[in-house]
Amino acid sequence: MSCRVLLTTVLLGGLICACLPAAPIVGTFNIAGTITVTPTTITWTLNDPPFTADKATIGPGGTGGFAGLGGTTVTIHDLNNATEPVGVSFPSQPFISFDAGPSLPTLNINFIFGGIYNASQCGTLPAAVGQTCTTPGSPFNFVNNPPPPPLGPQATATFVFMGITSDGLENWQGNFTSQFTVPYQSVLAQLASTGSVTNTFSASFTLNPISTVPETGTLGLLGLGLVAVSMKLRRRRAA
């Protein structure tokens, strides 16, 4: 094989490698920590001393690219309605990074789902099992759960975030839950009177790859490389 054909072949190999995307990171993981909610912000702290701000702990049972991270921590960024509004897409913002996995992509957030209930039962008293509530503009789905009075009810709040990873290869969604020993009417009353509510939370995350197609420019270069190799081989046979 002539040097020119060899060089063209090497260049073609480089083009083929260039159009292959990096392998996406897929899998699931769980985190737990403490959440503080105000009318406009959500902040996070570690459950354990020294209760570090903007940290949460990864639980056991991670899968895929997150296997083996159980017991380590993530950095989880605070949220503000001004930059991360509920119910509308916003520019991607860093949300979760992995302290023990710096090579893993950051989970950037770009959407906070609005709660699925309405406000018709948010102020209903007495509190009863089965009542539901989402205050206007809130991401929280409140439900009053058993047991019935006089021991209950007790509430749960669920909420859902989503986004794209910093490498642009994966979508992610996070399902959050916070459990209370009191009905949600008491939680909302505390928020109204003190301006904030603090409670523990847990969350599960799932990452899925985004389907990608090589860029037009890359495909064009690849086609030119193939044509060049074909012409060189024809000339060699003719000679």
pLDDT at 211: 77
Residue 5 one-letter amino acid = V
Phi, psi of 31, deg, nearest 5: -135, 160
pTM here is 0.81
Phi, psi of 170, deg, nearest 5: -135, 145
pLDDT at 149: 92
pLDDT at 230: 53
Per-residue pLDDT of the chain (239 residues; tens, 9 = 90+): 454 544 444 444 554 444 445 678 999 999 999 999 999 999 999 999 999 999 999 999 999 999 999 999 999 999 999 999 999 999 999 999 999 999 999 999 999 999 999 999 999 999 999 999 999 999 999 999 999 999 999 999 999 999 999 999 999 999 999 999 999 999 999 999 999 999 999 999 999 999 754 444 444 444 445 445 455 555 655 54
pLDDT at 36: 98
pLDDT at 190: 98
Bridge pairing between strands 107-112 and 154-165: antiparallel
The Cα 81–Cα 89 span in angstroms is 12
